[in-house]
């Protein structure tokens, strides 16, 4: 019970914080994406953001693009059994029990699947884009990305996480302008440290201005 609660608290909080920080970093260095997202957020009734999420496809695309590039949990471990020696891609898997790690981050940046995988392009998830119809969970036939894992260990917090991240981001973009740090502030470092959770190596530093809007 204790480990279950700690898994929910640890896995449920740090992962969300990390993805919001990465997304804000992209919005800071790509002001055109921030502007487009803000126009969408401003256009809906955001008094109760959670009720308006369905009307914000660009917000959905922004979050998916962030999860594709920066999945908070970098790999998914599985214990598997091969009855016969099997050819998996270019690797021959021997007969018997063994551990496999699926590197979620590498799947999301696979050059055979994604065009310019190191570019933050939320539009790819919109209608007509190469990832139209791709969602946060792995598809039954094809797995273009799997930030929440797949199969029997699949993340039970996915739905909660998506709503949480979207509500937070929509509110942060509605209320504030996000700009790069003032000169000498060190810029935005998009590297991640080689640790388990994919956090930013250097915590995001930005200039934040409260928006003044006529009601």
Residues that bind ligand HEM (CB under 6 A): 7-8, 11-12, 15-16, 19, 71-73, 76, 104, 147-151, 153-157, 160-161
Nearer to ligand HEM, 37 or 145 (CB): 145
Q: Write down the least CB distance from residue 67 to ligand HEM, Å.
A: 6
* Nearby residues of 143 by Cβ (< 8 Å), 6 or more positions away: 107, 150
| Coil vs helix vs strand at 78 | strand
In this structure, the chain runs to a length of 215
Q: How far is the CB of 150 from ligand HEM (least distance, A)?
A: 5
| Residue 198, CA distances (Å) to 64, 80, 100, 137, 201 in order | 16, 26, 20, 19, 9
155 carries a ligand binding annotation:
yes
- Torsion sign over Cα 93, 97, 98, 104: positive
Both tokens assigned to 142: 């094809």
Nearest approach in angstroms of CB 138 to ligand HEM is 9
Task: Compare residues 141 and 210 and give the one whose CB is closer to ligand HEM.
Answer: 141
| CB of residue 183 to ligand HEM, shortest distance in Å | 33
Range list of H helices, the chain: 2-29, 31-43, 49-52, 57-69, 104-108, 158-175
Residue 12 or 135 with smaller CB distance to ligand HEM: 12
In the bound state with ligand HEM, the residue whose beta carbon lies nearer, of 7 and 189, is 7
Q: Residues annotated in the binding site for heme, as ranges?
A: 155
Q: Residues annotated in the binding site, as ranges?
A: 155
């Amino acid at each position: 019970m204790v480990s279950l609660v700690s898994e929910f608290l640890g896995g449920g909080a740090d992962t969300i914080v990390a993805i919001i920080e990465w997304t804000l970093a992209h919005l800071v260095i790509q002001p055109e994406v921030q502007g487009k997202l803000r126009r969408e957020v401003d256009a809906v009734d955001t008094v109760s953001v959670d009720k308006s999420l369905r009307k914000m496809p660009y917000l959905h695309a922004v979050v998916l693009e962030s999860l594709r590039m920066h999945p908070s949990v970098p790999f998914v471990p599985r214990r598997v059994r091969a009855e016969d020696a099997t050819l998996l891609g270019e690797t021959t898997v021997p007969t018997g029990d063994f551990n496999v790690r699926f590197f979620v981050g590498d799947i999301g940046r696979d050059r055979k699947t994604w065009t310019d995988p190191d570019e933050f392009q939320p539009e790819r998830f919109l209608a007509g884009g190469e990832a139209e119809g791709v969602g946060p969970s792995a598809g039954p036939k094809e797995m273009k990305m799997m930030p929440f894992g797949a199969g029997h260990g699949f993340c039970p917090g996915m739905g909660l996480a998506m709503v949480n991240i979207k509500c937070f981001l929509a509110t942060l973009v509605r209320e504030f302008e996000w700009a790069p740090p003032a000169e000498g502030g060190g810029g935005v470092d998009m590297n991640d440290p080689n640790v388990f959770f994919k956090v930013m190596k250097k915590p995001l530093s930005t200039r934040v201005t409260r928006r003044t809007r006529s009601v």
